[in-house]
Amino acid sequence: MATVPGQRRAGSGRAGRADGGGRGGKAGKGRTFTGIAAAAVTTVLAVIVAGQVAADGKGSPKASAAGGERSDTDGSASRSDTRSAPARQPAAKPPAPTYEQLMATPFQIDPELTADGTFEAVPGVDKAPGKGRKVRYRVDVEKGLGMDGVLFAAAVQRTLNDERSWANGGAMTFERISSGDPKFVVTLASPGTTDVWCAKSGLNTSIDKVSCDSASTDRVMINAYRWAQGSDTYGLGAMFAYRQMLINHEVGHRLGHGHVSCRTEGALAPVMQQQTKSLDIDGIACRPNPWVHPKG
């Protein structure tokens, strides 16, 4: 029998003395069997452990898979592959231009344009805001002109009902209608069509491309060329003011007012002066003015 390290041979005197007295024989045999069993268990465990180590060395599927999962989870490249890219935010929509900005913007038009020759009322109603004598009017825009009729209608309504205009002091209040019986029709028309309608009242607007109140008809004609381009007297930097003057001047004729010229050098020109043509009358130079009752 092979000797397991740390184990004494059975029946040796030294072993009996260690175990004591008369129980030395049986006790010695029991210890021998116990030692043999322990050695066997140890040997089996060693074999099992060695087998596991050998298997791990060869790479078991579970260990390999587990190791792979840890590597994929911990690796920065894997995280970037599975992480969704941030959604691209749509570009912010620029705000719509304001009424003031639109009224200050010139645009191109052929000064020789003659459009469709027929008119279309701007739909809707703008109630009279004041308590004076109510004057109902309509706004028409020539078909084929390609201009913003809604902006034009808003400009007429706001301008006429401004405290600096003909509505000053509650003298009257203006209401835009699109049907019914208006007192007059403010009409935005091409230069050629404006000439036709102004000629019906004996007025020649073809030379200077100006507007008119065609008194023998129901139309106050606003020349689209002037509405688009203004005049040299105001310049492109004062389009807003020029358009206000154009409305006040021509509607002023319909309300019964004739031309008036400035008589004081450097003063504001009267709104009923022909400011599109000149601000210098009889050698008296005045400043542009869009209002019937200017402030300051």
pLDDT score, position 81: 53
Question: Residue-wise over 193-219: b if at least 16 C-beta within 10 A, else e?
Answer: bbbbbbeeeebebeeebbbbbbbeeeb
* More confident site: 17 or 164: 164
pLDDT of 197 above 70 = yes
Q: Given this model, what pLDDT does residue 88 score?
A: 81
Say which residue, 221 or 74, is predicted with more confidence.
221
Strand partners, 116: none
Q: Does residue 28 lie in a domain region?
A: no
User: What's the pTM value of the predicted model, to 2 decimals?
Assistant: 0.70
Count of domains observed in the chain? 1
Report the 10 Å Cβ neighbour count for 90: 6
> Could you give the CA distance from residue 23 to residue 16 in angstroms, rounded to a whole number?
8
Residues 6+ apart with CB under 8 A from 50: none
Choice among 7-11, 85-89, 248-252 with the minimum mean pLDDT: 7-11
Give residue 83's pLDDT. Answer: 64
For residues 183 and 192, give the distance between their C-alpha atoms in angstroms, rounded to a whole number. 25
290 belongs to a structural domain = no
Residue 204 lies in a domain: yes
Is 248 domain-assigned? yes
CA distances from 105 to 155, 240, 243 (A): 13, 8, 11
The length of the chain is 296
Determine, yes or no, domain membership for 68. no
Contacts 24+ apart (CB under 8 A), 32-40: 32/7, 35/4, 35/6, 35/7, 36/4, 39/4, 39/7
User: What is the average per-residue pLDDT within 213-223?
Assistant: 98
In a domain, 234, yes or no: yes
Domain residues for the domain of 240 are 107-258
Q: Which residues of 239-251 are buried (b: 16+ CB within 10 A; e: fewer)?
A: bbbbbbbbbbbbb
The burial class, CB within 10 Å (0-12 / 13-18 / 19+), for 254 is buried
222/258 Cα distance (integer angstroms): 17
The answer to whether residue 40 is domain-embedded is no
pLDDT tens, 258-288?
999 999 999 999 999 999 999 999 999 999 9
Q: Which among 144, 129, 139, 277 has a CA at the least distance from the CA of 219?
A: 139
Q: Is the pLDDT reported for residue 1 higher than 50?
A: no
- Higher confidence at residue 224 or residue 6? 224
Could you tell me which of 236, 234, 145 has the C-alpha nearest to residue 192? 145
Cβ atoms of residues 106 and 230 within 8 Å: yes
Are the beta carbons of 136 and 142 closer than 8 angstroms? Answer: no
The pLDDT of residue 250 is above 60: yes
Other Cβ atoms within 10 Å of 174 Cβ, number? 27
Select from 289, 265, 292, 264 the least CA-distant residue to 275.
Answer: 289
185 within domain boundaries: yes
220 burial (CB, 10 Å; 0-12 / 13-18 / 19+) is buried
| Region 33-38 average pLDDT | 41
Rounded CA-CA distance 254/215 in Å is: 7
